[in-house]
Chains A and B, each alone.
Chain A
Amino acid sequence: MAKTSNEQLVICLDNEGYAAALERRKIYVVLPDDEADKRGLLRVIDESGEDYLYPKSSFSPVTLPDALKKAVLAT
């Protein structure tokens, strides 16, 4: 999958009810989704490798240096 600068990184704070799909304290990629954003949701690529809508409250944004972000997105 091509990575773009639009992708953001978040850390999972709460995986209650999603033990298989999410792991606490792990960094996930967020895809842009304006409609979801308005509804308090984030489009997150979870452990399935697919993107799903999760509550924003379950995540916190992570800001990494560019080189590190690039490395994380490349994995």
Chain B
Amino acid sequence: MQFEIVGGILDIETIATGSGIREIARLRKAYGRGRWRKRKGVCRVRLADGQIQLAEIHWYEAAGIGRREYKIKHLL
């Protein structure tokens, strides 16, 4: 991940689960089987240039595995 999450993540929602996640096969191959959920939230991120910005981020999450692959959807 080439940005850093600063503080907590707010407004967390689940946007897809299990087979509703298009890349579920890749997730299972990379991190193992689990009840994968794709989630979104809003937080402040520190970008590679050092600037801190509010952003909507998405990530994958499964019980017993944790959160994986935080991605920036939009800079707000």
A interface with B by C-beta (< 8 Å): 17-21, 35-36, 39-41, 46-50, 52-55, 57-58
- Shortest C-beta distance, A18 to chain B (Å), equals 5
Q: Are A52 and B75 in contact (CB under 8 A)?
A: no
Complex: A4 Cα to B53 Cα, angstroms: 30
Once the chains are docked, how many angstroms separate the CA of A21 from the CA of B75? 19
Which of chain A's residues have a CB closer than 8 A to the CB of B73?
A: 50, 52-53
Report how many residues on chain B are interfacial, defined by Cβ distance under 8 Å.
25
Asked if B48 CB lies within 8 Å of chain A CBs, one says yes
Max chain B CB contacts within 10 Å: which of A19, A35, A46?
Answer: A19
Q: Which of A17, A48, A58 contacts B22 (CB 8 A)?
A: A48
With known contacts A52-B58, A55-B2, A21–B49 Cβ distance under 8 A: no
A20 contacts B72, C-beta separation under 8 Å? no
A40 to B75, CA, bound (A): 13
21 residue pairs from A and B, CB less than 8 Å apart: A17-B2, A17-B69, A19-B29, A19-B31, A20-B23, A20-B30, A20-B68, A21-B69, A39-B47, A39-B75, A46-B71, A47-B23, A47-B26, A48-B22, A48-B38, A52-B71, A52-B72, A53-B73, A53-B74, A54-B2, A55-B2
B71 proximity list for chain A (CB < 8 A): 18, 21, 46, 52-54
Q: Are A40 and B49 in contact (CB under 8 A)?
A: yes
Are A55 and B27 interface neighbours, CB within 8 A? no
Whether A41 pairs with B22 at a CB distance below 8 angstroms is no
